[in-house]
Structure 1
Amino acid sequence: MTELDIRLTRYGSRVATELISATLADLSVRYGGSGDTTPIEPGDFDPPLGGFFVAYIDHAPAGCCGWRTFAEDESTAELKRLYVDPAFRGLGLARRLIAAVEDSARAAGRKRVWLETGTAQPEAMALYESAGYALIPDFGHYKGYPSVRSFGRSL
């Protein structure tokens, strides 16, 4: 039996940093450059204004996801850095991480979750749509980029 543990973690922790580096490397292959130039401060993910989660399978770090309060609307959480290590894909881990983010954001009083992804991540777009997210007007750092796709859902 596989043991899954999803833990609230500091964004700047060693394990989070390693998973975020893997996330950015994946995005770099897909989009070029550093992968993502969205301005992020580690404190953006500190409760109660955010949360960052690391999933462990059988005690091994397997994925991550976080949320931060959207600056222009404090009732909105912005989902960031969803990543599952390739060795752990296909186990439903991304859905579990999304659920952890949504539960945390809801508990902190957020009414909706928004996110940015892009056309080079068709599997991410399919995941979000199957999890109840719908396309919304572009809103974030990549607003106006032709490959950006923004999604949202009410909590």
Structure 2
Amino acid sequence: MTSVARPPSLSAEPAVIHVTVSDPRVRPLLRELGDEYSTRYGREAHAELARYPDEEFTASHGGVLLLLLLHGEPVAGGAFRRYDEITAELKRIWTHSAHRRRGLARRVVAELEREAKARGYRRIHLTTGPRQPEARALYLATGYTPLFDTEADPESIGPLPFEKHLPDAPPQGEAAGL
């Protein structure tokens, strides 16, 4: 009997892990992001991935890089870096092309927001490119405020900035339902 290859099931909950940029499991993220950037913006866009030092995505520098693993393989990921004392900046939000349209990017954004809040950040800032309508839709759908005219042609704006203020933690009694 021959086994038929099936797409990985998402019935299992992806594991969230914190990694460094040098972790080999990050390579698919960076490779696919670089290819996407180059396809949408030209060859020089690949350099965007080297714009910030790797250390900026480590806890000791106020950042984090996380991956979602399904059956041990990276299926999505993202990072934030310190933007200022109260603000984290989201970077490198990615979902493997074979796993898109399954809510994984939303999960990554939610995990990054949770981490940012736990580290004392009160605001998140990000920019996405004008040729990334999927990213724009993701941020609008997850409660980010566009800091640009959403009616304007995105190509006339350049990088599209967004922000989101993280809610304060409820008072102790309120959190416990008292």
| Class of the TM-score when normalised by the shorter of the 2 chains | 0.7 to 0.9
Contact kept in structure 1, 2:35 and 2:46, CA below 8 Å: no
1:115 is matched with which residue? 126
Segments of structure 1 that go 5 or more residues without pairing to the other structure are 138-144
1:15 is matched with which residue? 25
2:16 is matched with which residue? 6
Structure with more relative contact order (C-alpha pairs < 8 Å, separation 6 or more): 1
Contact kept in structure 1, 2:20 and 2:65, CA below 8 Å: yes
**Percent of aligned pairs sharing the same letter:** 31
User: Superposed, which structure 2 residues align to 1:82-121 within 5 Å?
Assistant: 82-121=93-132
Contact kept in structure 2, 1:4 and 1:57, CA below 8 Å: yes
**Partner SS state of residue 61, structure 1:** strand
Contact kept in structure 2, 1:25 and 1:34, CA below 8 Å: no
Q: Return the offset for 1:36.
A: 4.7
Q: How many angstroms apart in 2 are the aligned matches of 1:34 and 1:21?
A: 14
2:151 is matched with which residue? none
Q: Deviations over 1:103-138 (max 9, x none)?
A: 11111110111111022001110110010001126x
- What amino acid maps onto 1:44 in structure 2? E
Instruction: Name whichever structure is richer in helix by fraction.
Output: 2
Instruction: Name whichever structure is richer in strand by fraction.
Output: 1
Structure 1 runs, 4 residues or longer, greater than 3 Å off: none
**Scaled by the length of structure 2, what TM-score is found?**
0.77
Q: How many angstroms apart in 2 are the aligned matches of 1:35 and 1:83?
A: 16
Q: How many angstroms apart in 1 are the aligned matches of 2:118 and 2:78?
A: 16
**Partner SS state of residue 19, structure 1:** helix
Q: Larger deviation: 105-114 or 15-24?
A: 15-24
User: Superposed, which structure 2 residues align to 1:55-66 within 5 Å?
Assistant: 55-66=68-79
Q: Return the offset for 1:84.
A: 0.3
Q: How many angstroms apart in 2 are the aligned matches of 1:86 and 1:52?
A: 19
**Scaled by the length of structure 1, what TM-score is found?**
0.87
The reply on whether 1:128 has 2:139 as its aligned counterpart is yes
